[in-house]
Amino acid sequence: MERSLLKHFIKSRGLRQSSQRDRVVETFLSQKGHTSAEELLIQVRKKDKRVGLTTVYRTLKLLTESGLAVERKFNRQVSTFEPARIGQHHDHLICLGCGKIMEFENKNIETLQEEVARKHTFFITHHVLELYGTCLDCSKKGAKKPKKK
């Protein structure tokens, strides 16, 4: 469990522990898929009513900085966060019809990206690759109302 990673991060920064933050972290790590601050707050409040949105934002920032969460924007205004699996990285297919998000990983693409960078004498720290379009279901049903989430 990479929980100790956060503990270490907290310590090394001279931060203190708190029950609210623990609850947010615990809830976040149990989450599947991509979660916004607002959505996470709803989940957290099922366990503890006294947690505020500000703390959720602050904790998500902490998780992101410590490498336990990855922030993603996709095509909307809100940031969503996803528990990071160490050493792993994936990109996304995003259906504009229903909002469905699928993951993929492609080493060949990454190799080509490195090649591009090398040509420009550029050093990649991270990348964003998002493929937008229509999933199978939506292409069958025809374009329907996009799902809000």
Distance CA 31, CA 124 (A): 29
Residue 118, both tokens: 């090398």
Q: Under the criterion CB under 8 A, does residue 148 sit at the interface with a second copy?
A: no
From the list DNA, a second copy, none, which binds 16 (C-beta under 5 to 8 Å, kind-based)?
DNA
Strands 80-83 and 35-36: antiparallel
Amino acid at 105: E
Q: Which residues contact 33 (CB under 8 A, 6 or more apart)?
A: 82, 101
Instruction: Give the contact letters, 79-108, x = binds to DNA (CB under 7 A), - = no.
Output: x-----------------------------
Which member of 7, 117, 141, 149 binds a second copy (CB under 8 A)? 117
From the list DNA, a second copy, none, which binds 79 (C-beta under 5 to 8 Å, kind-based)?
DNA
Cβ proximity to a second copy: between 5 and 101 the closer is 101
Cβ proximity to a second copy: between 15 and 131 the closer is 131
Q: Under the criterion CB under 8 A, does residue 52 sit at the interface with a second copy?
A: no
Nearest Cα residue to 93 out of 75, 116, 113: 75
Strands 69-72 and 91-95: unpaired
Q: Under the criterion CB under 8 A, does residue 78 sit at the interface with a second copy?
A: no
Task: Cite the beta strand spans of 1-116 per DSSP E.
Answer: 35-36, 69-72, 80-83, 91-95, 101-104
Cβ proximity to DNA: between 72 and 92 the closer is 72
Interface residue list for a second copy (CB under 8 A): 73, 93, 95-96, 102, 104, 106, 108-109, 112-113, 116-117, 119-136, 139
